[in-house]
Structure 1
Amino acid sequence: MKTIGIIGGGSLGLLFSAYLSDCYDVTLYTKTKTQAKCINENGITLHRQGEHHTKKVSAIPLEKNIKEADLIIITVKQYHLKEIIPFIQTLTIHTPLLFIQNGMSHIEILKNLPQRTLYLGTVEHGAMRTNMDSVHHTGIGTTRIASYRGEMESILPIVNFPWVIETDWYAMLVKKLVVNALINPLTALYRVKNGQLIHNSYFYKTMRLLFEEIASVLKLDSAFNYWENALGVCSRTSTNQSSMLKDIQEGRQTEIDAILGYIQTQAAEKRTSTPIVDFLYGSIKGIEEEKGD
């Protein structure tokens, strides 16, 4: 593997580009010409543990076609996926694609793609974009990858980033979905950092009730392990703001549809009542609407 294309100039796109550029020829595809120009002139500055390093990365606005590469990593948020699908469809069926999104709504989109090799990923890192060409690596974690379609050989040579290969893509995504569904909407509604969900007894109780609803809908085996995992994430990221809280604060659209919206869809199919999920979904959508006015 020599060339990697990364679609999306947000926090994850910048983070992956900065690290992978040490070993690969990386091209970052951005939403705007302005960001591409900025990165081409200045590189990407990676801040980590009090140090900062500038990485040279080639950037191209996404209005142009995507170049063939040994791997294309898609880091845009769920609600932007439909916009980039026409660009992905110009790639050959032999180009491996790695999708890294929150939630599980993107699975329906993947079914119709022509590419023979499709990977799914979840990210446990903390990353915050501070401007168009700068990203802070706020929490060091792991990127988990599983094959949705095709063999793993295409992705195994990747180095210089902590990857873990999973054998079951559905189990991997559900584990991350549960964490996102518990932490993101509650912290966004309460306007608190992640750790407050376990330190405040009232928030904790609500999170537990929410978990029981979600576990029932998804029919989680060994539900205790999912709960303990979520508590562990809250503890390890106790001083962090969730991505949904940041979106709310900055007046951006959230990923609530890809997270709780997916759980609502599953509940409807199973004719299961989810009053807490419904309340949180409506609350976040209402806040989005107010911000949009």
Structure 2
Amino acid sequence: MSWHILGPGSLGCLWAARLSQAHIPASLILRNQHRLAALQRQGNQISYLAYGQSSPLDIAINAQLASHPQPIERLIVACKAYDAVAAVESVKTRLSSNSGVFLLQNGMGSQQAIAQLLPGIRVIAASSTEGAFLTQPFHCTHAGQGTTLLGDLVHTQPEPTCLRDWQQAQISYQWTDTILAALWRKLAINCLINPLTVLYQCKNGQLTQQTERLTALAHELAQLLSAAGYPCTAEDVFAQCLQVIQNTAQNTSSMLQDVLNQRRTEISYITGFALAQSQQLGTSHRALLDLHSQLQARLQQLGLPLD
């Protein structure tokens, strides 16, 4: 069985390196000929620094463009949320009713759009705590061991047998029949941590100084999750957020990494999605609106897209 991975970012390269290292067929799908040539100049290898190791390994990796004719059996979508739908659209003709699509996007909104784009194809959403970053293109550092929660986005089915490949590659995962609940909970945590690290220009751990604001946001997000069908309390949301902050105290959030590297953020799929859902469901959202507006103002100051 072969895996294809859309997106050569940190998670895409992490999955490609680990599968290839375990001798499981895996191919990166790259955006254009320029990216393909860049990988070829590196000898068609990913430089992979495994977690806890001091020296990187050069991992041979196959790569191709979206226009390649090879059918896709298993597709991992590892690009940013704002690129995900277009990326899947570019390989849609290579998928069949027997294909499986695995989504690793932050936030919410892109997953549902892809499920609508691929009726009749099994779409599996993920919530991952794996930590990785690129020091340069195709140079991947596994910065933090985590696990990936997986489940069907539509029509729950038994765990797919292809995930035995992940076990062989020592990729930690758990299967769940309630992935949407997990995605909503992670959305709440993302709303609490990511935007504030951008506004205060700080690592995650420094957010313990913002308890008043975190409390107000946790109150509104708990209302939102409960109205969406996933009951929780503000105390639950705050406690989970504080735990993540403490566990990742030295980490730079993904949104702050994007800002520091002058890249587009996933604001529309995090605070933007939460705010729109809160307005639609009629829950209180003053603190969330203030947060989203301040984040947009900061992005505008930096000359970055507001969506």
Same fold judged by TM-score > 0.5?
yes
Q: State the SS of the aligned residue for 2:204.
A: coil
Aligned to 2:205: 195
Structure 1 residues 5 and 181, CA, compared in 2 at 3 Å: closer, same or farther? Answer: same
Distance 1:42 1:88 in 2: 22
Match of 1:101 in 2: 105
TM-superposed CA distance for 1:263, in Å, is: 1.0
Q: Distance in 1 between matches of 2:289 and 2:68?
A: 40
Once the two structures are TM-superposed, the CA of residue 146 in structure 1 deviates from its matched residue by 0.7
Q: What is the aligned residue count?
A: 288
Conserved? CA contact 1:94–1:115, under 8 Å = no
Shift of 1:264: 1.1
Query: 8 Å contact 2:220–2:283 — kept in the other structure?
Result: no
Residue number among 273, 279, 297 corresponding to 1:268 in the alignment: 279
Aligned ranges 1:175-194 → 2 under 5 Å: 175-194=185-204
Partners of 1:145 and 1:163 within 8 A in 2:
yes
Q: Does 1:291 align with 2:295?
A: no
In the alignment, is residue 92 of structure 1 matched against residue 96 of structure 2?
yes
Tell me how far 1:26 sits from its aligned partner: 0.6
Q: Is 1:126–1:138's contact at 8 Å kept on the other side of the alignment?
A: yes
Asked whether the equivalents of residues 252 and 288 of structure 1 are also in contact (C-alpha less than 8 Å), the reply is no
- Contact 2:194/2:253 (CA < 8 Å) preserved in 1? yes
What is the distance in 2 between the residues matched to 1:65 and 1:87?
10
* Alignment partner, residue 142 of structure 2: 137
Q: TM-score normalized by structure 1?
A: 0.91
C-alpha contact 1:144 1:166 (8 A) present in aligned 2: yes
- Deviating beyond 6 angstroms after TM superposition, the runs of 4 or more aligned structure 1 residues are none
Map 1:9-48; keep pairs closer than 5 Å: 9-23=8-22, 24-40=24-40, 41-47=43-49, 48=51
CA displacement at 1:66 relative to structure 2: 6.5
Residue 151 of structure 2: SS of its match in structure 1? strand
| Unaligned ranges ≥5, structure 1 | none
Partner of 2:175: 165
Structure 1: distance between partners of 2:65 and 2:197: 33
Amino acid at match of 1:33: Q
* Structure 2 unmatched ranges of 5 or more: none
Question: What TM-score results when the alignment is normalised by the length of structure 2?
Answer: 0.88
Counterparts in 2 of 1:72 and 1:115: CA distance versus 1, 3 Å:
farther
Helix, strand or coil for the counterpart of 1:149? coil
Aligned pairs for 1:54-133 (under 5 A) are: 54-62=58-66, 64-65=67-68, 67-90=70-93, 91-109=95-113, 110-133=115-138
Return the alpha-carbon distance in structure 2 between the equivalents of residues 115 and 35 of structure 1.
31
Alpha-carbon shift at residue 196 of structure 1 (Å): 0.6
**Distance (Å, rounded) in 2 between the aligned partners of 1:67 and 1:189:** 45
Q: Is the alpha carbon distance of 1:140 and 1:177 closer, same or farther for their aligned partners in structure 2, counting shifts above 3 Å? A: same
1:216 aligns with 2:216: no
Per the TM alignment, residue 71 of structure 1 is displaced from its structure 2 partner at its CA by 1.1
